[in-house]
Amino acid sequence: MQQYVVDWYVKAEGNCLNFIRHNQRVLRVESYLGLADHINALATEAGVRPSVTLILRSSFIGSLREMQRNFQDAMSKVRDFGKPDLFLTFTCNPKWNEIKENLFPRQKPHDRPDSIARVLDIKQKALLQD
């Protein structure tokens, strides 16, 4: 099941990247011409041939622009609420009774990631309410 989900995720992300690659004009990438000119100038200065530049949208997960946006969002929360004084790490234990009770016979916890995620979410919400 997990391999199936991973395969479909990779396929969907590949389709998204292909769409971005083939629709740069539709995505109004020409507004980033200054960025493309800068990259081409750096490549020329380094003595390498510049390749095709693809601009990812800022919401593309894992892109530098998305990470920068998330950082700016986090810093705005620090500005509004102050520096954090407590950092909690909350992990899931596959031996929790709530997880074991929802398994079928001969099933292991890693066979039911949906159940694990649901139990973890419930326990996190309970912790935050305390």
- Greater confidence, 37 or 67? 67
Tell whether the model's pLDDT for residue 33 goes beyond 70.
Answer: no
Asked if 116 contacts 94 with a C-beta cutoff of 8 angstroms, the reply is yes
pTM of the shown model: 0.50
- Greater confidence, 115 or 26? 115
Asked if 44 contacts 50 with a C-beta cutoff of 8 angstroms, the reply is yes
Least confident of 12-16, 35-39, 50-54, 82-86: 50-54
Q: Which helix (H) or strand (E) holds 34?
A: helix 33-46
Query: How many of the other CB atoms lie within 10 Å of CB of 19?
Result: 11
Tell me the average pLDDT across 115-125: 92
Tell whether the model's pLDDT for residue 30 goes beyond 70.
Answer: no
Instruction: Give the start-to-end residue ranges of the domains of the chain.
Output: 1-81, 97-129
Asked if 23 contacts 30 with a C-beta cutoff of 8 angstroms, the reply is no
- Greater confidence, 66 or 32? 66
- pLDDT one-digit tens code per residue, 59-83: 788 888 889 999 999 999 999 999 8
Tell whether the model's pLDDT for residue 123 goes beyond 90.
Answer: yes
